[in-house]
Amino acid sequence: MSDIASRVKAIIVDKLGVDENEVVTEASFTNDLGADSLDTVELIMEFEKEFDIQIPDDQAENISTVGQAVSYIEEAKK
Amino acid sequence: MELKRVVVTGLGALTPIGNNISEYWEALKTGKSGAAPITYFDTTLFKTKFACEIKNFNANDHFDRKEVRRLDRFAQYALVASDEAILDSGVDLDVVDKYRIGVIWGAGIGGLETFQNEVIDFAKGDGTPRFNPFFIPKMIADIAPGNISIKHGFMGPNYATVSACASSANAMIDALNYIRLGYSDIMVTGGSEAAVTQAGMGGFNSMHALSTRNDDPQKASRPFDANRDGFVLGEGGGALILEEYEHAKARGAKIYAEVIGGGMSSDAYHMTAPHPEGTGVIAVMKNCLENSGLKPEDVDTINTHGTSTPLGDVAELKAIKNVFGDHAKNININSTKSMTGHLLGAAGAVEAIASILAMQNNLVPPTINHETADENIDPELNLTLNKPQERNIKVAMSNTFGFGGHNACVAFKKLDE
């Protein structure tokens, strides 16, 4: 697993209080990991802080799974 | 229309002297102080370095990690205390009509620590407003009753009362009236507060409201003593299940007491100072007697607001003498704040619970830490000093007054069958 992926995973485990094994690439924050609308906003903010990036709201709307978050951040950090 | 009768069928408490009802009562009757040096933050630069914190409370024992992060301490206390009360009431949540169950909850401030920490983080940054999305919903005072209803599915009336230190007494009175008027069968009521934070301690210190007896915290809360020097900040929660009498009877509920009335008034005088003649406090006790259908001589005990401040304690006792006349000296007057400290918005609830437990046990908890008589206090008044007193209690009253001049008084009666 890439460094970005493992850091993303750690944030999700911490913020959503879920088990590490559940945080798989296809997992949806809301449908699989129990996040509500506020959790999702918080996750995006944590990603911004951790990776020192800005994720505009219209882009954030497209990040709803673990895999999508990792890809977005990898792209942003290139 | 005829008002319905209302009884108390469940109690819950999370206090600085006991983390549930039985521990709380044990501590009340033995005269235990909840004061100790503050553990939550470094008090080096603070004028007052002690408070009545909740002890041995680990949020993770009650909530999962995600819940802990989205609940300010005041909301955690609300959920823990109300859970105990709901369980104690024996209400079967699978069979009751949840549209007929409401929650009215008092908090004088709400999520002060959440507010403080979010603003500190913001001030440390570059001015970009990166507030946590949970900031507002964690902080607002009404999130406590909101969370109680979410947890249990209670779909009746739901809101918070905010009247500083009278908040949970106002909550109880509103809850009483909703049932009296037939709007609800059951109300979860009470209050919680968690203001032992830098902002809370610093703010109250600036008002010269807090005791600074740093060399002896356990003796600091000394209502009615000549050398009292301010209140001791406390925290926690108290919950009561109020229920329509016939509803309680029909399900064979255990009944602690009848809630027979409540009084409310305002000083209309000063933001924080009590009225020197106690006119608002006189009015609130008279209102309570009238609302409860009581004569002054019916009252056996008064759990005073009695915060251990120089002005407030004397004004309250003067008002009691004014309202009760000669009977005042027959009343067991006490202040449980001598033990618990001042729980602000939760005070009305935990003190009403103390009054109900006193009635049940026919024992009035003491006003501890009294050493020197205050010459401004009539020595004929029975202030239940230092030792509990046995008494067959039929009617108990509980006073609370809040900054802003809010006064609220609630009356309880042993149930007549």
CATH number of the domain that B167 lies in? 3.40.47.10
pLDDT, chain B, mean: 97
Residues of B with CB below 8 A from A45's CB? 130, 132-133
Q: Is the pLDDT of residue B376 over 60?
A: yes
Q: Is residue B35 part of a domain?
A: yes
Nearest CB among A17, A38, A49 relative to B133 is that of A38
DSSP A27: -
Q: Check whether residue B135 and residue B268 sit in a common domain.
A: no
Q: Is residue B1 part of a domain?
A: no
Is A17 in contact with B65 (Cβ distance < 8 A)?
yes
The stretch A49-65 carries a mean pLDDT of: 94
Cα separation values, B234 from B32, B54, B302, B392, Å: 14, 8, 21, 30
Residues of A with CB below 8 A from B59's CB? none
Q: Check whether residue B98 and residue B212 sit in a common domain.
A: yes
Out of B52, B165, B288, B409, which one is annotated catalytic? B165
Residues of A with CB below 8 A from B69's CB? 15, 17
Is B132 in contact with A15 (Cβ distance < 8 A)?
no
Q: What is the token pair recorded at B410?
A: 């609630």
DSSP bridge partners of B222: none
Cα separation values, B215 from B35, B147, B226, B343, Å: 12, 40, 18, 22
Q: Is residue B76 part of a domain?
A: yes
Q: Which long-range contacts (CB under 8 A, 24 or more apart) does B41-47 make?
A: B41/B197, B41/B198, B43/B201, B46/B198, B46/B201, B46/B202, B46/B205, B47/B205, B47/B210, B47/B212
The alpha carbon of residue B125 is apart from the nearest alpha carbon of chain A, in Å, by 12
Residues of B with CB below 8 A from A15's CB? 66, 69
Nearest CB among B65, B69, B133 relative to A41 is that of B133
Q: How many domains does chain A have?
A: 1
Q: Is residue B306 part of a domain?
A: yes
Q: Check whether residue B194 and residue B304 sit in a common domain.
A: no
Out of A36, A39, A57, A58, which one is annotated catalytic? A36
Q: How many domains does chain B have?
A: 2
**pLDDT of amino acid B276:** 84
Give pLDDT tens digits for B272-298. 999 988 999 999 999 999 999 999 999
Q: What is the token pair recorded at B74?
A: 């005041």
Q: Which of B69, B122, B124, B136 should we substitute to test contact with A (largest number of A Cβ atoms within 10 Å)?
A: B69
Q: What is the token pair recorded at B363?
A: 């024992």
**pLDDT of amino acid B277:** 86
Is B133 in contact with A16 (Cβ distance < 8 A)?
no
- A19 → chain B, closest CA residue: B65
Give pLDDT tens digits for B2-22. 999 999 999 999 999 999 999
**pLDDT of amino acid B416:** 72
Torsion of the alpha carbons at B178, B179, B183 and B189, rounded to the nearest 10: 60
Cα separation values, B340 from A39, B28, B354, Å: 37, 9, 11
**pLDDT of amino acid A60:** 94
> Domain range holding B231?
7-251
Q: Is the pLDDT of residue A1 over 70?
A: no
Q: Is residue B365 part of a domain?
A: yes
Is A17 in contact with B69 (Cβ distance < 8 A)?
yes
Give pLDDT tens digits for B144-201. 999 999 999 999 999 999 999 999 999 999 999 999 999 999 999 999 999 999 999 9
Q: Is residue B2 part of a domain?
A: no
**pLDDT of amino acid B65:** 86
Q: Is residue B206 part of a domain?
A: yes
Residues of B with CB below 8 A from A38's CB? 70, 133-134, 137
- The whole-angstrom separation of Cα B19 and Cα B22 is 8
> Domain range holding A53?
1-77
The stretch B91-110 carries a mean pLDDT of: 97
The stretch B14-40 carries a mean pLDDT of: 98
Task: Among B251, B268, B301, give the residue marking a domain's end.
Answer: B251
The stretch B389-410 carries a mean pLDDT of: 97
**pLDDT of amino acid B372:** 98
B55 interface with A at CB cutoff 8 Å: no
Task: Among B225, B251, B277, give the residue marking a domain's end.
Answer: B251
- Phi, psi for B259 (deg, rounded to 5): -90, 110
CATH number of the domain that A46 lies in? 1.10.1200.10
B134 interface with A at CB cutoff 8 Å: yes
Q: Is residue B188 part of a domain?
A: yes
Instruction: Judge contact between B191 and B168, C-beta under 8 A.
Output: yes
Q: Is the pLDDT of residue B53 over 70?
A: yes
Nearest CB among A17, A41, A49 relative to B66 is that of A17
Give pLDDT tens digits for B222-279. 999 999 999 999 999 999 999 999 999 999 999 999 999 999 999 999 999 999 889 9
- B64 → chain A, closest CA residue: A17
Q: How confident is the model at residue B417 (pLDDT cuts 50, 70, 90)?
A: low
